């Protein structure tokens, strides 16, 4: 019996150190000196059933197979929001009407100020190309050409702002599209002149450069090269972009179908879900009491977040559509921002083309001028926050600094709470900021714009008792 008890004790001690789920009977040590199997206790495999191990959901566990929980969350979200959609349909009826958007686009005999504004942008692009050609020929000195480039870029930024602010017939949607287009064009043209300046400096410092190399450099200063860059899904210029062998028509049609479907869903969410919440308001957010303000914000969290995710997917489809059409090879437009454990990681991964431009033309240039890297990154972030405020405030003719202040608040959260929220907790904090952060601040601008439009056209709306459709594209 003493020998058997000793053997059972060794079985228990050896099983407690194992990390797999093998049976205790198989883990028992055996040797030639062990008694025959017929003398072993019949319940030897059942005597020891415990070992050192963590709970699966504890932070010390290495368990990662959460697919079942993810499926449960997805089903629960679908059922919950199906209930919200059903309740919305019972209360308001079917409000989705895509024809209202089309009727708005063909109104006023297709007299679209935003289209004329976009066509006028060609003169700024052609001016940048001519300045580069004059520099290459030696007609303009580098200093004078740089000043003219900056003047051209300054006019490019002021021109759409002046038109949007003083043109009463331009729609809100057209103003948004025009302003985003001009902002991207300004960043592209800045990269265009800056990168060409670097190429010229490289040629001047290379004493062995022959005429053949100089001619090759001149061949890039063409309309074809410039407009390929302007239409390419990138903000950073270089001479030769990586290209794919051919255009895949099936991928092109797939991306086009994605864009059509996503736009339809976004219009449906705005008309069916967001606008009824706006219609319950009589005052702007700035004049509401705190209880009513919180009630409206809570109701807008889910549709605003879905709209933001759909907007991201729309940008994914659009950028890949342009890349496929132009055979543009670099399609790293975003990283895995959904796995970000800090807000700083999220900002670096959700918009790669913009981050590349900021690092190449702003941050690196500041560091070259002996500005500390941390201060350079802070200046880039503040510039991004101010740009976001400008992009939404100008078309809506309303500047309350809510978007800028919300992004600054998120920066403070990232700095002071980043050490306390790491791993899964940090990722949860990132998603919480996405739910309650900048997208929600953006929708408050649209809310106040809706209220101001409703008040200005109250007499016209009173004669029509049918629920309205999309009004975000109506003129201010």
DSSP, residue by residue, 274-309: IHHHHHT-SS-GGGS-HHHHHHHHHHHHHHHHHHHH
Residues 6+ apart with CB under 8 A from 303: 269, 273, 274, 277
Give the pLDDT of residue 103. 60
Q: What is the mean pLDDT of residues 316-321?
A: 94
The residue ranking higher by pLDDT, 468 or 330, is 330
The token pair at 251 is: 């991928």
The token pair at 256 is: 């086009």
Short-list 88, 85, 94, 98, CA closest to 473 = 98
Helix (H, G, I), strand (E, B) or coil at 371: coil
Question: Where residue 29 falls among pLDDT bands split at 50, 70, 90?
Answer: very low
- pLDDT, averaged across the chain: 79
Quick check: 35 pLDDT over 90? no
Question: Where residue 19 falls among pLDDT bands split at 50, 70, 90?
Answer: very low
Short-list 441, 401, 409, CA closest to 304 = 441
Over the stretch 241-257, which tens digit does the pLDDT of each residue have? 999 999 999 999 999 99
Question: Where residue 476 falls among pLDDT bands split at 50, 70, 90?
Answer: very low
Give the Cα separation of 131 and 202 in Å (integer): 19
Give the Cα separation of 83 and 79 in Å (integer): 6
Give the pLDDT of residue 17. 46
Of 24-38, 234-248, 336-350, minimum mean pLDDT range: 24-38
Quick check: 263 pLDDT over 60? yes
Q: What is the mean pLDDT of residues 45-74?
A: 77
Short-list 149, 150, 174, CA closest to 163 = 174
Quick check: 18 pLDDT over 60? no
Q: In DSSP terms, which residues pair with 475 in a beta bridge?
A: 171
Q: What is the mean pLDDT of residues 110-138?
A: 86
Q: Centre a 10 Å sphere on the Cβ of residue 152 and count the other Cβ atoms it contains.
A: 20
pTM: 0.78
Q: What angle do CA 285, 286, 291 make, to 5 degrees?
A: 60
Over the stretch 401-428, which tens digit does the pLDDT of each residue have? 889 999 999 999 888 887 788 888 888 8
Per-domain boundaries in the chain = 2-18+28-46, 339-455
Give the pLDDT of residue 213. 47
Q: What is the mean pLDDT of residues 22-37?
A: 44
For residues 473 and 173, the answer to whether their CB atoms sit within 8 Å is yes
Quick check: 275 pLDDT over 50? yes
Q: What is the CA radius of gyration of the chain?
A: 31
Quick check: 26 pLDDT over 50? no
Over the stretch 377-405, which tens digit does the pLDDT of each residue have? 999 999 999 999 999 989 888 888 889 99
Question: Where residue 471 falls among pLDDT bands split at 50, 70, 90?
Answer: very low
Question: Where residue 326 falls among pLDDT bands split at 50, 70, 90?
Answer: very high
Give the pLDDT of residue 459. 47
Give the pLDDT of residue 97. 66
Q: In DSSP terms, which residues pair with 328 in a beta bridge?
A: 243
The residue ranking higher by pLDDT, 62 or 367, is 367
Query: Where are the strands (E) in 79-144, listed by range?
Result: none
Give the pLDDT of residue 12. 55
Give the Cα separation of 370 and 375 in Å (integer): 10
Q: In DSSP terms, which residues pair with 171 in a beta bridge?
A: 475
Name the residue with tokens 């001028």: 369
Of 52-56, 63-67, 82-86, minimum mean pLDDT range: 82-86
Long-range contacts of 332-340 (CB under 8 A, 24+ apart): 333/233, 339/427, 340/426, 340/427, 340/430
Give the pLDDT of residue 101. 64
């Amino acid at each position: 019996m003493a020998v058997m008890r000793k053997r059972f004790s060794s079985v228990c001690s050896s099983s407690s150190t194992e990390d797999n789920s093998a049976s205790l009977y198989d883990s028992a040590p055996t040797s030639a000196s062990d008694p025959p199997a017929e003398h072993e206790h019949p319940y030897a495999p059942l005597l020891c059933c415990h070992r050192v191990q963590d709970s699966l959901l504890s932070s010390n566990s290495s368990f990662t197979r959460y697919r079942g929980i993810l499926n449960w969350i997805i089903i629960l979200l679908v059922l919950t929001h199906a209930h919200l959609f059903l309740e919305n349909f019972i209360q308001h009826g079917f409000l989705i009407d895509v024809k209202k958007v089309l009727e708005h686009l063909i109104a006023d005999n297709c007299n679209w100020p935003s289209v004329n504004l976009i066509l006028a942008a060609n003169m700024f692009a052609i001016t940048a190309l001519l300045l580069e050609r004059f520099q290459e020929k030696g007609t303009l000195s580098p200093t004078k050409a740089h000043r003219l480039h900056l003047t051209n870029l300054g006019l490019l930024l002021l021109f759409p702002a002046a038109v949007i602010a003083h043109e009463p017939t331009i729609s809100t949607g057209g103003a948004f599209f025009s302003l985003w287009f001009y902002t991207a064009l300004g960043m592209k043209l800045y990269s265009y002149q800056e990168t060409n300046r670097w190429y010229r400096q490289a040629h001047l410092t290379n004493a062995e450069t022959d005429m053949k190399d100089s001619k090759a450099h001149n061949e890039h200063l063409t309309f074809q090269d410039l407009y390929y860059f302007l239409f390419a899904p990138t903000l950073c210029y270089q001479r030769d972009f990586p290209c794919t062998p051919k255009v895949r028509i099936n991928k092109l049609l797939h991306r086009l179908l994605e864009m059509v479907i996503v736009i339809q869903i976004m219009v449906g969410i705005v008309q069916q879900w967001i606008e009824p919440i706006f219609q319950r308001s009589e005052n702007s957010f700035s004049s509401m009491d705190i209880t009513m303000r919180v009630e409206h914000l809570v109701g807008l969290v889910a549709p605003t977040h879905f709209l933001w995710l759909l907007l991201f997917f729309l940008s994914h489809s659009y950028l890949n559509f342009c890349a496929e059409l132009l055979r543009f090879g670099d399609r790293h437009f975003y990283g895995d921002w959904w796995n970000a454990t800090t807000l700083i990681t999220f900002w670096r991964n959700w918009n790669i083309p913009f981050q590349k431009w900021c690092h190449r033309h702003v941050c690196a240039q500041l560091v070259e001028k002996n500005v500390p890297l941390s201060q350079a990154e802070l200046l880039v972030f503040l510039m991004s926050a101010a740009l976001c405020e400008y992009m939404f405030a100008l078309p809506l003719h309303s500047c309350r600094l809510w978007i800028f202040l919300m992004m600054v608040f998120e920066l403070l959260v990232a700095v002071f709470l980043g050490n306390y929220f790491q791993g899964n907790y940090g990722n949860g904090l990132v998603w919480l900021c996405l739910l309650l952060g900048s997208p929600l601040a953006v929708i408050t601008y649209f809310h106040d714009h809706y209220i101001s439009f409703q008040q200005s056209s109250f007499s016209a709306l009173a004669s029509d008792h049918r629920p309205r459709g999309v009004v975000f594209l109506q003129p201010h």
